[in-house]
Amino acid sequence: MENIKHKINTFAEKLTKLGEIIYKYRYHIAITIFILCIIFEISGSSIGCWKDFLGQQELNDGVILGESRTIRSDEWSVLTPMTFSQAFDGFKYFSNLIRGGNTDVFIVYGLPVLNPAQIFRPFQIGFLFLGLAKGLSFFWCGRFIALFMVTFELGMILTNRKKLLSFVMATLITLAPIIQWWFAVNGIVEIFVFGELAVILLHKYMNTQNIKKRCLYLLCMIICAGGYILVIYPAWQIPMFYVFLALAISVIITNRKKCKINKKDIISILIALLIFICCMGYIFATSMDTIKSVMNTVYPGSRAETGGHAISKYFQYPSNIFFPYNQEGIETNVCEEATMFTLFPIGIILSIINLIKSKKKDIFLITLLIIYGFLSLWCIIGFPKIIAKLTLMSNVPSDRAILAVGFIDILILIRSISNKEIPTKKLIAIITSIILSIIISILCKKFNPNYIETKRLLKIFLINTCIFYLLFRFQAKYMKGILCCGIIPIMIISGGMVNPIRKGIDVIYNSEIIKQIQSIQKQENGKWIVEGESYHTGNYILMAGIPIINSTNTYPDMEKWHMIDTENKYEKVYNRYAHITIKIKNKDEIPEKKFKLIDPDSFEVNITPQELQKLEVKYIFTGNNLEKYSNNEYKFEKITNINQYNIYKFTGNN
């Protein structure tokens, strides 16, 4: 027995020494991994979906591990094609390709642009000088590594520099299912990176008197503030802002005695504010017309939320373990159901125990619990309209605020177990863990009746019981290491397997379709449309670097649609962010409703050859036969046939 204990202790000592080495050289290791990922063009994009979508089975999708996710169409079918198109248009602030021309691509979708404003979107910079494949790797791997490293450093502040706990926190956040399912879009990673980094910089600012370092921290805080604002997704930004505000207040209160502000500091702060205002002023002035257009759309338009009805989300985290492997039976879709792996309610319980037993007031726990109560009230019950507007929560659907609630759950859990106020006896820990696990399992089943079948329910119970027990017994010998060894595999299973690991972008640029389109466009420039096909196809063609009218319209081109809808009869249909399907018809074939709303973010429009000419269309990509529409006035000349698709050149005599 003694021999076994000795071996365990020796092994633990070796792991500790290895951990110290990794910690010491953590930035060297992170940078090395980042560079290697770029060299080998590694990313997590689901662009491999294009292989099946357009029937190009001969292409290599580049997937090394995992699978491309068709559900992430806003990444592989919208964001990535738009990003790639920028390389063919000189990375302009206003694209000549998306929507067929003159589209603001910086403020809405945050595409890479050759402009000083790009400093606020640093993860897109790789596209400007590394090429598309390596730029995509820079974007995916850079954000992943930055999120892990920044969260680790925030963990070091929260845990009073406990490395193992900080590592657990970084794992829980970086591999959180909700972050991984939404990884590439809506700026979810940027919200965490910029918000967490701003708190870290504030902490560093208050713990140094060196004016040069303080100025550097202020400069970086400007970038963080600008980057956070330019995410422009209030549904996540606003509730997450409350969390970061709580953390910032906690940092200020706990470090107020160490921080001395003199005249130089005041001047530097004022200069920093002036620089920030000037930068934001330039960006918003440049994009003011776009902002007005988006604000006046029918969709997404402005929100008027009052909250409530999201209590089920508190108990759904265990089901995330199974999401990457089977989605059958999920009520909505896997992305909407994904949450943080919060281990609720263990963080709340341990934080309350800490506050009761601790002789000192834990400012971090107090401020975080206040915001937790505020956001939970919004998610579960909701606010009156006036309070919702005053707090800006009217812009936040309750199921989006769950991101911030889950984040706080993890923060208070990590903060609580980093203290030594929770020594729990074995029997109490076992009984409490079992009771909590039974409750969570039952509620998880209740809110996911078609998804959580008996085997999954049993797995949820066993996993939660083990983790809860380890958390209650965290201060006992070996429990820290066992918890770490337990959490990491669970997070890899639930979050790490969401996105594929892929190499390169050959699945796009080895395509005969792309090559043929580029060849035609090179011979004679012209605007394109996709006819009779889904919106995905329009965005695919965009990656060939050609102007296409019905690529996804991130905001409406009202002037263009008014040419077709001369009486503005269908303005409510096309005044929106939209995926667009175009169908060509003769005048006598046009249905009663020329514009038809399919979904809140998509519509169908029927247009005549005469209207094609108004739109200055030259080429048409379609699976249909358009030669039947040729007459003395208009000619549809088939240029080529690729797979089941035809490309026509359209000319008119008028």
261-270 own/partner pairs: CB under 8 Å, 24+ apart: 264/211, 265/211, 265/214, 268/211, 268/214, 268/215, 268/218, 269/218
Q: What is the pLDDT of residue 312?
A: 94
pLDDT tier at 654, thresholds 50, 70, 90: low
Higher pLDDT: 453 or 480? It is: 453
Q: Is the pLDDT of residue 193 over 70?
A: yes
For 46-162, where are the alpha helices, taking DSSP H only? Answer: 49-53, 73, 80-86, 126-130, 132-158
Instruction: Extract the tokens encoding 359.
Output: 């002789």
Inform me whether the pLDDT recorded for 176 exceeds 70. yes
408, 371 contact by CB (below 8 A): yes
What integer pLDDT is reported at residue 122 of this predicted model? 97
Token look-up 């990491």 returns 488
Reported as a single tens digit per residue, the pLDDT across 257-280 is 889 999 999 999 999 999 999 999
Q: Which amino acid is at 244?
A: F
pLDDT band at 332 (very low <50, low <70, confident <90, very high): confident
Q: What is the pLDDT of residues 410-461, one digit of tens each?
A: 999 999 999 876 667 888 899 999 999 999 999 999 999 999 999 999 999 9
pLDDT value, residue 286: 96
Q: What is the mean pLDDT of residues 71-97?
A: 96
pLDDT in tens, 497-537: 999 999 999 999 999 999 999 999 999 999 999 999 988 99
Calculate the alpha carbon distances from 149 to 23, 37, 272, 351, 489 in Å.
11, 16, 26, 25, 19
Encoded tokens for 554:
């991130």
Q: Tell me, what's the pLDDT at 2?
A: 65
| Contact criterion met (CB below 8 Å) for 169 and 158 | yes
Indicate the domain borders of the chain: 2-422+474-496, 511-652
The predicted pLDDT at position 476 comes to: 78
pLDDT score of 423: 66
Burial class (CB in 10 A: 0-12, 13-18, 19+), 417: buried
User: What is the residue-averaged pLDDT of the chain?
Assistant: 93
Q: How many Å separate Cα 478 from the centre of its chain?
A: 36
- Per-residue model confidence as pLDDT tens digits over 559-615: 999 999 999 999 999 999 999 999 999 988 888 889 999 999 999 999 999 999 999
How many CB atoms are located within 10 Å of the residue 231 CB? 21
Supply the DSSP string of 526-585, one letter for each residue.
-EEEEESS-HHHHHHHHTTT--BTTS-BSS--HHHHHHHSTT-TTHHHHSBSBEEEEEE-
